[in-house]
Amino acid sequence: MVTCDSLKELIAQEAIEFVDLKSVDLIGRWRHITIPASRFTPHLVENGVAFDGSNFGYASVEGSDMVLLPDLDTATIDYYSDEKVLSIISDIYLAGGKGPYHGDPRGVIRRAEEYLVSEGIAEAAMMSPEFEFYVFSQAEYHTGSVESYYALTPLNEHRDYSFYHISPPEDQLFALRNEICRRLEKRGIPVKYHHHEVGPLGQLEIELGFDKPLKMADTTLIVKNIVRNVSAEAGLSATFMPKPIFGENGNGMHVHQYLASGGKSLFEDKGALSELGLCYVGGILSHGRSLFGLTNPSTNSYCRLVPGYEAPVSLAFGEGNRSAAIRIPGYAAPAERRIELRTIDATCNPYFAYAAMLMAGIDGIKRNLNATELGFGPYSHDLYHLSAKELRKIAQAPADLGEALHALEDDHDYLIAGGVFEEEQITHWIEAKRKEESQLRRRPHPYEFSLYYDL
């Protein structure tokens, strides 16, 4: 068991001078506050560190006093160049001893895991995201009242062939990925493998093994942070934006997932997906359009989710079918028989997104929403090239963020089951995301000048 005393011993052994308390804001950005190691005491562990919740997007200024309470089980040594820092992820509490803040994303995903167990469905959910991102030599962007631009400088020139698993010397970022993975392993995060992705202009991928949703949501933010920090140390710029380059492959964050009991997947049935697995898939696809409001919550998400391109937009499933929203990997070992949701991207708050996927799957199991019986598949053909008539038979992803938020507004009862999410919390999320969308909609886009300036 990790205690304040055991961590103080670690601080002394490693000559650590600072303790970093990390937490997540509403939309999914890592935030942190750093204290001298001498201030890391039982009193601080018990009472936490105060902060302004309005700056995290959680509350209005008149009721924004909150407290970060360190979760000691997450403590690990973090590396910043030559500096070692004790890093601890924190839970969010209300000030004045009023208990946990119900809107804390870590609290939401904890309740989702507890709900799964309390319903007697499984002992655990297991998840494994794929991290796709671009690395550029330089990235500049600016928005003002009379100018707006972005300029990306790739390491490679454009090539007319896939860079998927390309080897050096074309793979100029091999050493960078090795260093990123070394940092992850030092943090106790096992790496499955890494490689260059399809995009020739610096698109990379790192895959991990499986873990429970809360641990994997924590890990998701750690991975993104390490990728960006190691890239910056190398004089480069990394982004997880779903579609940073027009005409090139976008970045997804496909999430492999299954339910388990006794250390084995409950989705396994003689080499095929079990009835429980089919109902889990049916739940995710039945609530698919509303899930986009949490799994793909940026305007840029829908630049990637375009019919006929590399990202799936058809709410269907198929074995080994990468054109469907859900793929059933054909190579999975029976103990890890799983599904892969291919629509999600890394602009999500992973605590909310992973909890929402799990809640949709649980709803499918409880309501016996068998994906095959509901007509979601399995599909064995390429769904990217369906005719308009064929497309009308399959539910499609929302066309933009506004459409996704409308779907979430209309369909979220499955999220508030068991008190996992709160109605007020979903309303607050939708309001925050609609404000983001309106900010973009109110500004002229550079491409509009090409279309309309001389009319």
Going residue by residue through the chain (455 aa), what tens digit of pLDDT does each one get? 889 999 999 999 999 999 999 999 999 999 999 999 999 999 999 999 998 888 898 887 666 888 999 999 999 998 877 788 999 999 999 888 888 999 999 999 999 999 999 999 999 999 999 999 999 999 999 998 898 999 999 988 778 888 889 888 988 999 999 999 999 999 899 999 999 999 899 999 999 999 999 999 999 999 999 999 999 999 999 999 999 999 899 999 999 999 999 999 999 998 889 999 999 999 999 999 999 999 999 999 999 998 777 789 999 999 888 889 999 998 878 888 999 999 999 999 999 999 999 999 999 999 999 999 999 989 888 888 877 787 788 999 999 999 999 999 999 999 999 999 999 999 999 999 999 999 999 999 989 999 999 99
- CA angle 115/121/125 to nearest 5° reads 70
Instruction: Name the catalytic one among 78, 205, 268, 363.
Output: 205
Cβ–Cβ < 8 Å for 330, 338:
no
Which of 194, 342, 345, 363 does the annotation list as catalytic?
342
Angle at 118 between CA 114 and CA 124, to 5 degrees: 55
Give the pLDDT of residue 266: 97
What amino acid is encoded at 67 in this protein?
V
- Across the chain, how many H-helices and E-strands are there? 14, 19
Catalytic residue among 113, 130, 218, 336: 130
CB 90, CB 69: distance < 8 Å: yes
DSSP state of 164: T
- Quick check: is 17 catalytic? no
> Does the annotation count 52 as an active-site position?
yes
| Sign of the alpha-carbon dihedral angle for 156, 160, 162, 167 | negative
Q: Is 170 a catalytic residue?
A: no
Q: How far are the Cα atoms of 218, 354, 406 from residue 292, in angstroms, in the given order? A: 21, 12, 10
pLDDT value at position 61?
Answer: 64
Residue 448 catalytic? no
Q: Which of 91, 104, 113, 197 is catalytic?
A: 197
159 is catalytic: no
The question of whether 197 is a catalytic residue gets the answer yes
Where do the CATH 3.10.20.70 domains begin and end in the chain? 4-101
Task: Give the CATH number of domain 4-101; options: 3.40.50.300, 3.30.310.50, 3.40.50.2300, 3.10.20.70.
Answer: 3.10.20.70
Whole-number pLDDT of residue 120: 97
409 is an active site residue: no
| 424 given a catalytic annotation | no
The whole-angstrom separation of Cα 115 and Cα 419 is 9
pLDDT of residue 97: 82
pLDDT at 82: 78
Residues of the chain within CATH 3.30.590.10 domain(s) are 111-452
Nearest CA to 130 out of 69, 51, 67, 216 is that of 216
27: burial class by Cβ within 10 Å (0-12, 13-18, 19+)?
middle
- How far is residue 204's CA from residue 195's CA, in Å, rounded to a whole number? 6
Phi/psi at 281 (nearest 5 deg)? -60, -45
Contacts of residue 4, defined as CB under 8 A and 6 or more positions apart, other chains included, come to 40, 41, 42, 45, 72
Contact 263, 272 (CB under 8 A): no
> Which residue in 71, 104, 132, 336 is the catalytic one?
132
- Overall CATH class of domain 111-452: alpha beta
pLDDT at 138: 95
φ/ψ (deg, to 5) at 340: -130, 115
- Confirm whether 205 is a catalytic residue: yes
